[in-house]
Amino acid sequence: MRSAQWRRLLFMAAAMALAIAAAAAASSLEPAMTVHETTQQPHEEEDEREEEMYTMPEIGGLHGGSRFLAEFNPHKRLKCKHSPDICKVWGSPGPDCCKNKCVDMATNSHNCGQCGHKCKFIQACCRGQCVDLAFDKRHCGRCNNRCTKSVLCIYGLCNYA
């Protein structure tokens, strides 16, 4: 076979591989390929034969990914401004709506007890109150870790000695 025939054969194989990959990736193929027939000029050295050029459509949604993946963004936060009940669904970051975001005001250090109430750097939000985990007897080292009576909480440890 001559080199022109090899090139045509390789071109056709590559086009078919692309067509198969596109068909496998897309759920429904609209007009998947358009075929253009071109004839070569008689003054060229190659034989006068028809070639088929395949142009593949752009498949996928945003940035070439699947359109199904573009529909679900796990990093996108739930917005609750118009429907606060969305915060009560399973998997929500919290049951409360603050500044159009679902949060848990019982544990969120930026919205502790109420929207916009921030705890200090050394504090944590436990049951909607800012507490110092290093010295609070009711929340020693972590939330709801109560030290027994007559035992102090020092550096987040009950009965530190």
Residue 87's region, left for phi above 0, alpha for psi from -120 to 50, else beta, is alpha
pLDDT at 40: 47
Instruction: Give a yes or no: residue 33 inside a domain.
Output: yes
pLDDT for 51 beyond 90: no
Work out how many domains the chain is built from and give that number.
Answer: 1
Q: What is the pTM of this model?
A: 0.47
Instruction: Give a yes or no: residue 86 inside a domain.
Output: no
Cβ atoms of 35 and 72 within 8 Å: the answer is no
Label residue 77 by pLDDT band (50, 70, 90).
low
Instruction: Give a yes or no: residue 41 inside a domain.
Output: yes
Q: What is the mean pLDDT of residues 42-66?
A: 45
Residue 60 or 6, more confident: 6
For residues 79, 84, 87, 89, the Cα torsion angle rounded to the nearest 10 degrees is -120
Instruction: Give a yes or no: residue 22 inside a domain.
Output: yes
Share of residues in the chain with pLDDT > 70 (%):
53
80-131 per-position pLDDT tens digit: 878 878 888 888 888 888 888 899 999 999 999 999 999 998 899 999 999 9
CA 31 to CA 24: how far, in whole Å?
15
Q: Show the domain range for 46.
A: 3-70
pLDDT at 53: 38
